[in-house]
Amino acid sequence: MKYTLILISIALVACASSKREGVKHPAKNVATSYKVYKIDSINTYYLIYARGHDTLFKIVSKKNSVKSHYKIKVNTSYEFKLHSSLLNRHIGAKILLPQNSLLVNCFSYDDKTQICLEGDSIRDLYYAENIKGLYFIKTKR
């Protein structure tokens, strides 16, 4: 019986570890190519949906009057410098408030705006340091 419990514990740890390895997060401050497949907005924020690393990303960007030559377009790839909002719990200098501390599903960005995760497809919200509004800010390498 004792050995059965040990084997079951090892199997559970192995399964949990392999599941977590399947979730890929972009490395901090590293620009990687992401293809934008959808753009939406809610109140004063843009939601930019992109694919990269065989994963879907939901990028939140504050609506901004800054304009550049590089307006973000659907079906175009960009080298976004993404940061996880779940890991960092902020966008820019603003700290986000999770609505449920155990199973975070939505974040309050301001008094009127909540942005939520999307089931199994999008399990984190991201911000990109090289996006201003709907404009990609090209940076030197």
Express each pLDDT in 51-70 by its tens digit. Answer: 998 899 999 999 988 888 89
Q: 100-138: per-residue pLDDT in tens?
A: 444 568 888 899 999 998 877 888 899 999 999 999 988
Domain carrying residue 111: 25-136
Only one residue has tokens 């700290």, namely: 95
Question: Token digits for 97?
Answer: 């408030």
For residue 102, is it within any domain?
yes
The percent of the chain in helix, strand and coil, each rounded to the nearest 5, is 15, 40, 45
pTM of the model: 0.70
Which comes out higher in pLDDT, residue 95 or 134? 134
For residue 141, is it within any domain?
no
For residue 19, is it within any domain?
no
Collapsing DSSP to helix, strand or coil, 11 comes out as: helix
For residue 13, is it within any domain?
no
For residue 106, is it within any domain?
yes
What total number of domains does the chain contain? 1
For residue 64, is it within any domain?
yes
Question: Token digits for 112?
Answer: 């009127």
For the segment 33-61, the average pLDDT, to the nearest whole number, is: 95
